[in-house]
Structure 1
Amino acid sequence: MTEELTHINAQGRAKQVDVSDKAVTKRIARARASVIMQEETLRRIKSGGMKKGDVLAVAQTAGIMAAKKTSELIPMCHLLLLTGVDIHFEDNDRDQIIITATVKVTGQTGVEMEALTAVQITALTIYDMCKAIDKSMRITDCYLLEKEGGKSGHFVYEEEK
């Protein structure tokens, strides 16, 4: 880690990075988060037995919406015209849902924050829809899996290599 922080101006105060001279390239980021819950909670999500409706469909929509609104939530993020957002779910047939978000853009800055925001809001929506029956749920292991494009090149989280 030898690079200087890019969101600090000459006075040591926060600034939004100027990307006007950066090349427009295809950029992709993937992030992951998990929701750990009681076995009965996962069973009811999978069987459609939650009173609030289809938990994963609502959570998926929330994650997509969150990716598109990242610049409204995180002050130094740029407003981006995303070209694709996909939320994918896996579970361990016991007590965990793993959320993966893939976000794409053709632009001058990356979409890591959009992917991370998407998985967090997806997880929070699962929590919100299930909290009446399981207040012990935990949102865990949120991290960037991979990013492609831009000056810094291709990054893959070590477990993925």
Structure 2
Amino acid sequence: MSKLTHIDGDGAAHMVDVSAKDDTIREARAEGVIHMAAEVLETIKANAMKKGDVLATARIAGIMAAKKTSELIPLCHPLALSKVAVEFEFLDDGIRVEAMARLTGKTGVEMEALTAASTALLTVYDMSKAMQKDMVISDIRLLSKSGGKSGDWTAE
């Protein structure tokens, strides 16, 4: 196992110094799923939820969350994101969310993509919970990352 980058020699947590790293184009994609009853799914598809347009609101929430990641996750660097996208796919029993974050910088955007996907899913739940409280959010994961010293990575 490699040396932990966020822990110093005394075991104290610290933010990694990335000042010596090269700026590269970095991109990450993450996904997650929310499972729900057919009635809830059809209401979202018909844009008939009482609280409003679920997917439009979830998209905005995901983008906003990506921009706030360093305020939510300890030791994350504040980043000047150049692009965040949140897309939705209807499944038989729910909705799949895929989020993408991109920048040119010294550190990766995996946490921003994961935060965007997670927050978009939470927003779908929040806007739909009046119809169903036992929806299940699952399978949040990193799909891919590119750029930086460690290069490209794609989930199997």
Q: TM-score range by the shorter chain?
A: over 0.9
What amino acid sits opposite 1:126 in the alignment? V
In structure 1, distance between residues paired with 2:78 and 2:32 = 23
Describe how 1:141-152 pairs up with structure 2 within 5 A: 141-152=139-150
Q: Which runs of 4+ in 1 moved over 2 A?
A: none
Superposition RMSD in Å: 0.6
* Cross-structure match for 2:118: 120
* Cross-structure match for 2:4: 5
For the pair 1:30 / 2:29, whether they are aligned, the reply is yes
* Cross-structure match for 1:72: 71
Describe how 1:122-137 pairs up with structure 2 within 5 A: 122-137=120-135
In structure 1, distance between residues paired with 2:2 and 2:9 = 16
* Cross-structure match for 1:46: 45
Tell me the secondary structure at the aligned position of residue 126 of structure 2. helix
Tell me the secondary structure at the aligned position of residue 75 of structure 1. coil
In structure 2, distance between residues paired with 1:41 and 1:107 = 41
In structure 1, distance between residues paired with 2:102 and 2:61 = 17
Tell me the secondary structure at the aligned position of residue 103 of structure 2. strand
Deviations 1:39-95 (A, max 9, x none): 100000000110000000000000000000000000110000000000010012x32
For the pair 1:104 / 2:102, whether they are aligned, the reply is yes
- Following superposition, the deviation at residue 35 of structure 1 comes to 0.4
In structure 1, distance between residues paired with 2:10 and 2:3 = 14
Tell me the secondary structure at the aligned position of residue 147 of structure 1. strand
Deviations 1:125-157 (A, max 9, x none): 000000000101000000000000001110000
- Following superposition, the deviation at residue 109 of structure 1 comes to 0.1
What amino acid sits opposite 1:63 in the alignment? G
Gaps of 5+ in 1: none
For the pair 1:157 / 2:139, whether they are aligned, the reply is no
Scaled by the length of structure 2, the TM-score of the pair is: 0.99
Tell me the secondary structure at the aligned position of residue 42 of structure 1. helix
Percentage of matched positions with identical amino acids: 55
In structure 1, distance between residues paired with 2:5 and 2:73 = 15
Scaled by the length of structure 1, the TM-score of the pair is: 0.96
Count of aligned pairs: 156
Gaps of 5+ in 2: none
